[in-house]
Structure 1
Amino acid sequence: MGELDAFTGVIDYPMYVVTAAAGDEQAGCLVGFASQCSIDPPRFMVWLSKANRTYRIARQASHLAVHALRKNQKGTAALFGKQTGDDLDKFERIAWRRPAHGTAPVLEDAGAWFVGRIEELLDGGDHVGFLLSPVAEGPAGPARPALLFFSDVQDFTPGHPA
């Protein structure tokens, strides 16, 4: 066991789909390492695996889109978590749009989303943190949706290793 396994083994965190676009390429992946990290100014940190195609596209991007998934979106989580964009175009299999304010694709059916301008990168080891400053967000729904958590997808075999 690793040095943090006892601690991280009890944490059940929300899962997100993060999307990026640069030039004529776009990518997206399932992410569990993400959190709001400042209230004023508002900031959100997303950690992407260096082994991931989304990371390679995000390094060239100006913005990322972060999507909170509803509990019933395990299929979307599987598409972005079990598949790799190296082998297939995930965006052919899901409804999405490119908002006028940014370049990152926004998934039409997300429980909630925001687009953030990339402010800084932080190398954390096998993942790199992207510090985001929100520039747009999806409209609030009528109620807070039940979100998809790590425990809902822990049986997935990822498209890439960490």
Structure 2
Amino acid sequence: MNGKTNYYELFVAWAASLSNQDFIDIANSNGELNRTAIAKALGCGRRVVNGQNARITEALGALEERLRKEGVLPPLADEDSVKPGNEPKEYDHTERRRNLDSARASKLEVENTELKARVNELERELEKAQSDLRRFKEQREAFDELGVILR
């Protein structure tokens, strides 16, 4: 060879050297062989295994299919089939608005309570001021009757 590594030949030799248990050990939860582990074993980058090298990609697909037929790898999860309890949730367009409205309503309730307390306080002050005003009016009337001039 001219100094280039033939990763396809390395892949074929690597795959032939592994037992069924070895394949099970490097399988991921999707039922596929872990591409990163394969790339490390071959001494190449993940892109070589993930499609840059068409021969490896094709051979890897065939290997995984053979291992599925032999029962070593689980069948691929069908994208259309959904496990019970994992059904996709329908997006509720109104949920965000309800949450915002609920938060706003809570804030307004707190503000309303504070304002009611302030109104009660101001009404007490007004009653006191009106009481003082009546008292001062009575004093002024008394001074007027006595002829006292206030400066």
Is the shorter-chain TM-score for this pair beyond 0.5, marking a shared fold? no
Class of the TM-score when normalised by the shorter of the 2 chains: under 0.3
Task: Decide which structure has greater strand share.
Answer: 1
TM-score (norm 2): 0.19
Structure showing greater radius of gyration is 2
TM-score (norm 1): 0.18
Task: Decide which structure has greater helix share.
Answer: 2
